[in-house]
């Protein structure tokens, strides 16, 4: 149902470098350049991820209660994304682990404070 998600940033080069390296862990690449932002994905007909400087010219802020969840196909990839995020300067919001039956997840914040979750089921 979700086509893409977009987060804001106040430092586009720094944030883009973070996501280039983070998404490389799961084989996702930068696909589009909008001048004021970028989009990552595997294919245009699959859900994507965007990062932009706000269109209104105001500072990007973190949404309270907003989180982007990244689905992967293994616990190893959850662990790898979490580790890479922290290695790149992201902040821990919940180490990898079982969160209920059949749901394995890790939580972290990017360099701008946006909250993300990497998870797999099964």
Strand partners, 69: 117
Instruction: State the average pLDDT over residues 1-12.
Output: 92
Q: Quick check: 53 and 60 in contact, CB under 8 A?
A: yes
Residue in the block written with tokens 């922290």: 86
pLDDT at 122: 84
pLDDT, mean of residues 44-56: 94
**Domain-embedded: residue 26:** yes
Mean of the pLDDT values across residues 49-64? 93
Whether 52 and 77 have beta carbons less than 8 Å apart is answered as: no
Q: Which residue has the tokens 């902040």?
A: 91
The CATH number that applies at residue 18 is: 3.10.180.10
Q: Which range marks the domain in which residue 30 is found?
A: 4-54+67-121
Average pLDDT for 80-100 = 97
**Average pLDDT of every residue of the chain:** 95
Domain count, the chain: 1
What one-character-per-residue DSSP string does 38-51 give? EEEES-TTS-EEEE
14: left (phi over 0), alpha (psi -120 to 50) or beta: alpha
């Amino acid at each position: 149902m979700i086509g893409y998600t977009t987060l804001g940033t106040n430092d586009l080069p720094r944030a883009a470098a973070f996501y280039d390296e983070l998404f490389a862990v799961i084989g996702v690449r930068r696909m589009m350049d909008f001048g004021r932002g970028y989009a990552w994905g595997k294919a245009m007909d699959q859900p994507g991820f965007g990062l932009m400087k706000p269109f209104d010219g105001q500072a990007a802020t973190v949404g309270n209660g907003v989180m982007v969840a990244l689905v992967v196909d293994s616990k190893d990839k959850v662990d790898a994304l979490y580790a890479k995020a922290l290695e790149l300067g992201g902040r821990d919001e919940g180490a990898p682990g079982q969160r209920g039956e059949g749901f394995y997840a890790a939580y972290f914040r990017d360099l701008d404070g946006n909250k993300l979750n990497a998870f797999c089921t099964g």
